[in-house]
Structure 1
């Protein structure tokens, strides 16, 4: 009898843990979960892709910059963002954060010696940019939309006018696309 009660308690515990709870407000965009799918606490492949709603409302985007610019990328510096989906328009923004690590710094032991192939990549610094331009609220872009950005520091400030002209020219070029 005790064995049956233990099995029942174990089954009830497992049933309670089949509920998938969202960590915050959002939605599931891709579901790989079907009746009979086996999932474990240490699953190697996610069964769902969760997209938080807050991210869409935060107006933050990530841009990758060459490492040469790392010493000149600081929180609060002014930026301009251009989206191919919104041709002819450049938006004001600012640096919200500079991520403290580059993917190439990650090392995962694999039981074999490293080769020089690992040294051939030149990782880029990821910078979080926040759109501060009120005009941006008029547009609906999905998370992950492509953008081009420029951050303006005090380094060679005289040349920033050239960059501002170039980003606007690039934005105007987005009126012309030949994929239809």
Structure 2
């Protein structure tokens, strides 16, 4: 299933819809203003919070956490940097690790588990610069989690670029 994201530069307090491939609202990204730390909520079309994304306050490396039902679900950290590709590691609470690699700032990257493609994030399908797609490849994959991972790594890469 392919999800369409109209890319905003993720200012806190900005809300935006993610649509499915049929143009229906699938998820709402709700930026929470006036919070001590960077916080976003991924909601379903009825307003139910599916996933909460938070920047960790104290960590050596830039880190964001993903929570579901107010319980930790995953932690995302920058893995390593090369000249052409960004690498992030997503560690789920049960120990499973997902790898995120590619050109995150260009919105051209993949999410993999043990070498198997779970999602492909790309702008190449669109002419509009501020639009990209999250193509969830596996039908049994958790689309909300993979979209949250994409939003997190893009946000982390944007913040890193701002601080450079």
TM-score higher than 0.5: no
| Structure with a larger share of its residues in helix | 1
TM-score (norm 2): 0.25
TM-score, normalising length: structure 1: 0.24
Pick the structure with greater CA Rg. Answer: 1
